[in-house]
Structure 1
């Protein structure tokens, strides 16, 4: 079991490092990302995050017993605003953040990378083998959040945004490490004595990181195309 934990932790760190090497996040850390790019990211991330409780429920439906379902229920309750220390649904916190920046998800359309990310998460969470959904949600999402959201917060800070304007990101930096550990513990139990399950988890995590990188690349491409299209008007 210790070897399984070591394998999962090593893969988690490698996937975090790989994700943070993307130029979008590197520019967030360097303070060279633009506010327009960050606002575009907010809308696209909002489209992906809208489905988060459904990703989680789809994966929970494939868990082998109610014990694992109960362990993950805390994550679900926090998302829905039903936990004592998280009394407000996270989607409302995100909506308030969007409104502060003059944004809305109404009539917003997902970029190709956003659609790829949504489809990848649903595909893994709906897989009858729960190892796929667990790997996707842990290694490909929750485990990345503290590092990725910290980079995004740095980008917003460089653009003059105040911490209180970004509550959604701040609370997830603080709580998602615990969520990842909860899922990891279930992964270890599920994979006990079955290395094939570990391989499935790692593959799903890598699949989601590939999709996340495509998500960031889509944002950069869309922003560049919008900038090029606006150039003649500026001239």
Structure 2
């Protein structure tokens, strides 16, 4: 099948990748790229500008060697026609194809410049260096199939999956043609380059399943190297959304960490099993201070707290007040709450509200234990600068 005929088969293997690659690229590898959180965040406008810049800088450390990769590969080819075919790719890279006098390297440097970046701004990550070394090693292999597989399957064929989210992110942040031309051009052109290499690969592997499997394995290896680089960039960007102070506080120095859109940050711990049955030191200390039994719901919320309070028969809390709101749901028993000058009766199934700074006390008047669930916004005030305040006013008679 000719390159033109192959290109005309438009059924996608995954979104953005033609079915012509079905025998060479593994769907799970492509999905690893397509569904990578870094590329997803870029495509959806959820990545902050600092993350985009880091990706561009790491990509610059890899792509600056592109002509070296290509020259090394051409040096392994036996057929002059194959060398000439890849020279067309080189001519485009060098800007001497009769269409543009600007090299692709210069276009990419223009992108960096528009974002105020230079490659020296960020050292290459170990994962980036590993991808560079792996690509170069395959391109220098005396078996030309190795370099072709690395360049074709591990780079040119997957350009749309990588460059399209970057292009969308640049457009999201308002950058124009000067910043986006490199990526627009490569999304349009690199499939032709990939098909040129694929034609040579098909001839070199014709009728040899072992050779075809070798090429596919090398493609998978390069995709894995690239995913590892994306993993490292994403992990670092996630860490950078945490306060720089190290004490859990955000300050004006962290303003640049604010993303352009929200994204889910799902913590490892999402449940607290058997809250009332678990015996914790925090519960015991809190109960001792409050003078009645309290169980703390220990979950990683930044804005609300939840506790379960228990009052024995005829027991009441101390009179107190605080500058955060409270909503209480009575799970068991009956009694009343003194809130300011008012006496508010309650029983199981009722909910009550305690306003900011109102003096209040809860009293059990039932025949057995009273149990209630309290939700407060104290953590919000604590995380806003430690401005949550509670004042004990002593004990009042029921």
TM-score (norm 2): 0.55
Which residue of the partner structure matches residue 82 of structure 1? 96
What is the 5 A alignment of 1:1-235? 9-10=21-22, 11-12=24-25, 14=27, 15-106=29-120, 108-228=122-242, 230-232=244-246, 234-235=250-251
Q: Distance in 2 between matches of 1:7 and 1:194?
A: 21
Q: 1:124–1:136: 8 Å Cα contact kept in structure 2?
A: yes
Identify which of structures 1 and 2 has the higher relative contact order when contacts are C-alpha pairs closer than 8 Å and 6+ apart: 1
> 1:80-108: CA deviations, max 9, x gaps?
11111232111111111111111001364
Q: Distance in 2 between matches of 1:107 and 1:190?
A: 42
Which has the higher Rg, Structure 1 or Structure 2? 2
Seen in structure 2, the aligned counterparts of structure 1 residues 133 and 7 have a Cα distance that, compared at 3 Å, is farther
Q: Distance in 2 between matches of 1:179 and 1:18?
A: 23
Q: 1:34–1:159: 8 Å Cα contact kept in structure 2?
A: no
Which sections of structure 1, spanning at least 5 residues, go unmatched?
none
Q: Distance in 1 between matches of 2:161 and 2:220?
A: 17
Seen in structure 2, the aligned counterparts of structure 1 residues 88 and 192 have a Cα distance that, compared at 3 Å, is same
- How far apart are 1:229 and its partner, in Å? 6.1
Q: 1:138–1:183: 8 Å Cα contact kept in structure 2?
A: yes
- How far apart are 1:120 and its partner, in Å? 1.4
Q: Distance in 2 between matches of 1:144 and 1:9?
A: 10
Which sections of structure 2, spanning at least 5 residues, go unmatched?
7-17, 252-398
Q: 1:134–1:187: 8 Å Cα contact kept in structure 2?
A: yes
Q: How many residues align?
A: 233
Which residue of the partner structure matches residue 365 of structure 2? none
- Range that drifts further, 198-207 or 144-153: 144-153
Q: Distance in 2 between matches of 1:216 and 1:158?
A: 20
The SS at the match of 1:200 is helix
TM-score (norm 1): 0.91
* Structure (1/2) with the larger helix percentage: 1
The SS at the match of 2:244 is helix
Q: Distance in 2 between matches of 1:7 and 1:30?
A: 25
* Structure (1/2) with the larger strand percentage: 2
Seen in structure 2, the aligned counterparts of structure 1 residues 229 and 176 have a Cα distance that, compared at 3 Å, is same
